Amino acid sequence: MRIRTGLLTIGVAGCLLVLTGCIGQSPASSGNSDTQLNANAKDVTLSISSNSIVGGKNDSGARWITQYVVPAFTQMEKAKGVTVHITFNGDGSDDGSYGQKQVLALRTGGGGDILEIDGTDVGDYSESGLIKPLGAVVGQDEVSGWSGWSQISKSVQQLDEYKGQAYAIPIGTDGRVLFYNKNLFAQAGLPANWQPKSWADIITAGQALKKVSGVTPIQLDGGTAMAETTTVNGFLPMLAGAGQLLFDNGKWQGNTAAMRSALGFYQQIFSQGLADPVLDEESQGRDQSFAEFAANKIGIYAESDYMWRSILSPTVGNDKMADRNSAVGYALIPAQNPGSGIGGQNFVSYSGGGVRLINPHTKYPQQAWELLTFMASAPAIETYETQYLGGATQVTGNTEVDKKLLAGDPLLNFVSTKALPVTHFRPSEGDYTQVSALVQQATADVISGKSPADAASTYATSLAKVVGQANVVDN
Amino acid sequence: MRRVDVAGLGVPRALAFIAPAIIIIAVFLVFPALWTIYIGSTNFELTGPNSINPQFVGFGNITNAITDPQFRGSLVLTVVYVAGSAVIGQNLLGFLLAWLMRSTPKLLRSIVQGLILLAWILPGTVVAFLWFALLDRNSGTLNALLGNHSTAWLIQYPMLSLIFFNTWRGTAFSMMLYGSALSTVPPTQLEIARLSGARGWRLLRDVVLPHIRGHVLTNTLLITLWTANDFSPYLLTAGGPNHASEVLPVFIYDQALNSSQFGYASAISVLLLVVNLVIALLYLRLLRRRG
């Protein structure tokens, strides 16, 4: 008995010793600091992590990587006498789960050598010590000497920067607009060429659509199940339309008039039955919304151009809409009232986009950088756009490619010339992810019947706990 | 007390024999449990400044949890889920099936048991997908049968759906356990009771139940613990809509990964563990009293 107790004590004590100090290290600081590590290796192994998978989510991106990037880069390196093995870690989960996987992988020293994350997470990951500026991983001269930077527009570069340092290379950007179904609009007696000037105009159109049977008039992403989509597609454009940014001049919006207005818009459309709460509440709500929009069941949907090119595309979309070009209209998202938007704008939009970065734990920083810049080179992007995106293009991280290709797609042209000039990017603050979760909860509260004032007040209380009362504006 | 070394191994060799088991238990059970307690006493987060410099907060997370309405709501939902789907649902349905199956022809019994077992042994993700197909608002089988396309079962009746789901999913275990328990009731006693005119409920209460009381308690204990720790509600409703079906395991997951409050989530895991221990002790006491 004594021996067993002794063993147990030793075991427990040992475990506790191991535990102490195990959490709370900065994972990136334990990464290698030698930018020239294995720079001359002849046999190189690299991996790419991306939230795309052949035959599933973002199929075109996955095929581009596996069918074009990997063989082309391997070939290029072979010419230099280097053997490269590249593995592709595809994924097809929702963006939130994918992000969690990357955090967990980075925390434990794993993850792809090159990985794609949402640009809005750069600040959070950096504050958490999960990633390092590109200069620290591959060398300052290498990074600033890259010719590609000049081809990435300044606004798109906001995606990869945090506190003035580049952490990644942006993949591209998008813009939010109001998509509407012209077939349903015709049935509801609404114009084929629709551009609301205020929120009231949206409500009016919604009421007309409500009379068409079997149709959800408006889909505005909200609630917690939609996660980040709620914030960027639904809430932030409304907040900007009410005249505020979520984070401005070092302070977060608390229980403010603009906050209550934006939540009030949710209340208006949901309490009048103009939107379907189930779409915002069920766990696959976004996919369901896409499918319903493609099936002519949703009148107006505030979404990113992503929906146009990756979901509804007649050739490469997940929910192909054969008559997309004639049946789907698009309009700018209006401010609450003309001129009431942020900075006196009449119309607003929000942009985001993925970025590609190098894992600070990579064993081959130089080769990873080569691969990264290859993927961001004009020929590679152009190949992606023309051969894998099925002609439907995306606002890319390369202005030259954009110039050449965007004019060919009416919506993308509209987004880049009309929406991007009035767009905003999400805050790059480390706390953003948590604040965004609170915003999602506030919209969920309103959708389930709470008043905007109550929801805003609950939100502001939780917000103060996250960022500190001193950094919150209430009015 | 004098110890006798019956096997004649001697202490060192005996230790060598149990070492693999002890090591595995230490690595996969004791260590994670201690680790959870340790993280639960800090404000460690998955990302953000607290992920780099977590502070020791002692019982702070526990006291926060007690005043957190979301945690309390989640606790109530867990009790509802366990009581509805395990203690009542699986128990009664399992017993009923076992009782009815005593006298059915062997072929029919094998088919029914096979089907029920299938629900139990299929992987959770597959089963969740099937239930999505069953309960979906627009194209679900249930709505197609009812001829209505307006009920989103998982959204409008999330807890009820989960309780039905878990009853369906887990009944096989209770059925099998009761099946073998019922075979321990001596047929002679049943016959005598019948001859004396005992039927239905009286037969069950006075003859069958006294024989299988231990099995009932064991079964209830096991399914209660399994259900309290069950994560499959996440696959169906992800805790939604708006936390209406967020049982504790889902709440823990949501706090840890979606809200990145790892410390808080770990503390709640410890609480869940303690609650489970209390339940287990309670049942064990009942079992002992029986003896």
pLDDT bracket for residue B205 (50, 70, 90): confident
Q: Which tokens in the block code for residue A426?
A: 């999400």
| Nearest beta carbon to residue A283 from set B38, B237, B259 | B237
Greater model confidence, A224 or B199 = A224
pLDDT bracket for residue B197 (50, 70, 90): confident
Taking the CA of residue B38 and the nearest CA in chain A, the distance in Å comes to 8
Rounded to 5 degrees, φ, ψ at A430 are -60, -30
Nearest residue in chain B measured CA to CA from A446: B242
Span B144-166, pLDDT tens digits: 999 887 888 998 999 999 999 99
Chain A residues with CB under 8 Å of B137 CB are 278
| Nearest beta carbon to residue A15 from set B31, B44, B48 | B31
Span B82-120, pLDDT tens digits: 999 999 999 999 999 999 988 889 999 999 999 999 999
Q: Does B60 touch chain A (CB under 8 A)?
A: no
Whether residue A128 and residue B30 make contact (CB cut-off 8 A), yes or no, is no
d(CA A159, CA B111): 59
Can you tell me whether residue A114 is helix, strand or coil?
strand
Closest Cα to residue B215, out of B269, B175, B156? Answer: B175
Q: Does A434 touch chain B (CB under 8 A)?
A: yes
Q: Does A118 touch chain B (CB under 8 A)?
A: no
Contact A114, A357 (CB under 8 A): yes
Chain B residues with CB under 8 Å of A459 CB are none
A interface test, pick of B27, B52, B67, B151 with most A CB neighbours within 10 Å: B52
| Nearest beta carbon to residue A281 from set B39, B242, B257 | B242
Contacts 24+ apart (CB under 8 A), B123-126: B124/B232, B124/B235, B125/B235
d(CA B268, CA B251): 9
Rounded to 5 degrees, φ, ψ at A242 are -90, 5
First CA to last CA across chain B, in angstroms? Answer: 26
Q: Does B274 touch chain A (CB under 8 A)?
A: no
Whether residue A224 and residue B242 make contact (CB cut-off 8 A), yes or no, is yes
| Nearest beta carbon to residue B48 from set A3, A26, A124 | A124
Among A354-363, A396-405, B219-228, B264-273, the range scoring the smallest mean pLDDT is: A396-405
Whether residue B34 and residue A281 make contact (CB cut-off 8 A), yes or no, is no
Residue A348 is predicted with a pLDDT of 96
Q: Does B15 touch chain A (CB under 8 A)?
A: yes
Closest Cα to residue B151, out of B159, B142, B160? Answer: B142
Whether residue A12 and residue B30 make contact (CB cut-off 8 A), yes or no, is yes
Whether residue B22 and residue A11 make contact (CB cut-off 8 A), yes or no, is yes
Nearest residue in chain A measured CA to CA from B158: A282
The CA distances from residue A377 to A77, A372, B36, in Å, are: 16, 9, 46
d(CA A379, CA A367): 19
3-state secondary structure B127-162: HHHHHHHHHCCCCCHHHHHHCCCCCCHHHHCHHHHH
Helix B60-67 and helix B69-81, axial crossing angle in degrees, nearest 10: 70
d(CA A330, CA A352): 19
Nearest residue in chain B measured CA to CA from A441: B242
Whether residue B260 and residue A430 make contact (CB cut-off 8 A), yes or no, is no
d(CA A357, CA A116): 6
Amino acid at A381: I
Whether residue B34 and residue A448 make contact (CB cut-off 8 A), yes or no, is no
Chain B residues with CB under 8 Å of A448 CB are 241-242
Partners of residue A355 on adjacent β-strands: A117, A170
Chain B residues with CB under 8 Å of A15 CB are 26, 30-31, 34-35
B interface test, pick of A122, A229, A281 with most B CB neighbours within 10 Å: A281
Model-level ipTM above the cut of 0.85: no
d(CA A32, CA A150): 29
Residues 6+ positions from A269 with CB-CB distance below 8 Å: A202, A203, A206, A217, A218, A220, A275
Neighbours of A55 (CB within 10 A): 9
Closest Cα to residue B242, out of A292, A242, A458? Answer: A458
Peptide bond into B241 cis (omega under 30): yes
| Nearest beta carbon to residue A128 from set B31, B52, B238 | B52
Whether residue A434 and residue B48 make contact (CB cut-off 8 A), yes or no, is yes
Q: Does A277 touch chain B (CB under 8 A)?
A: yes
Span B1-58, pLDDT tens digits: 556 777 788 888 989 999 999 999 999 999 999 999 999 999 998 887 788 889 899 9
d(CA A307, CA A330): 12
Residue B240 is predicted with a pLDDT of 79
Residues 6+ positions from B227 with CB-CB distance below 8 Å: B81, B82, B85, B86, B90, B166, B170
Helix B106-121 and helix B91-101, axial crossing angle in degrees, nearest 10: 160
Nearest residue in chain B measured CA to CA from A27: B52
Percent of chain B at pLDDT exceeding 90: 59
Taking the CA of residue B254 and the nearest CA in chain A, the distance in Å comes to 11
| Nearest beta carbon to residue B240 from set A7, A16, A224 | A224
Nearest residue in chain A measured CA to CA from B47: A128
| Nearest beta carbon to residue B52 from set A24, A104, A434 | A24
Rg of chain A (C-alpha set) = 24
- CB neighbour class for A466 (10 Å; exposed up to 12, middle 13-18, buried from 19): middle
Q: Does A96 touch chain B (CB under 8 A)?
A: yes
Around B9, how many Cα atoms within 13 Å sit in the side-chain half-sphere?
9
Span A160-180, pLDDT tens digits: 999 889 999 999 889 999 999
- Predicted confidence pLDDT, tens digits, chain A (475 residues): 455 555 555 555 554 545 555 566 666 565 667 888 888 889 999 999 999 999 888 888 999 999 999 999 999 999 999 999 999 999 988 888 899 999 999 998 899 999 999 998 998 899 889 999 999 999 999 999 999 999 888 888 889 999 889 999 999 889 999 999 999 999 999 999 999 999 999 999 999 999 999 999 999 999 988 889 999 999 999 999 999 999 999 999 999 999 999 999 999 999 999 999 999 988 788 999 999 999 999 999 999 999 998 899 888 888 999 999 999 999 999 999 999 999 999 999 999 999 999 999 999 999 999 999 999 999 999 999 888 887 657 888 788 888 888 888 889 889 988 998 899 999 888 888 889 999 999 999 999 999 999 999 999 999 998 899 999 999 8
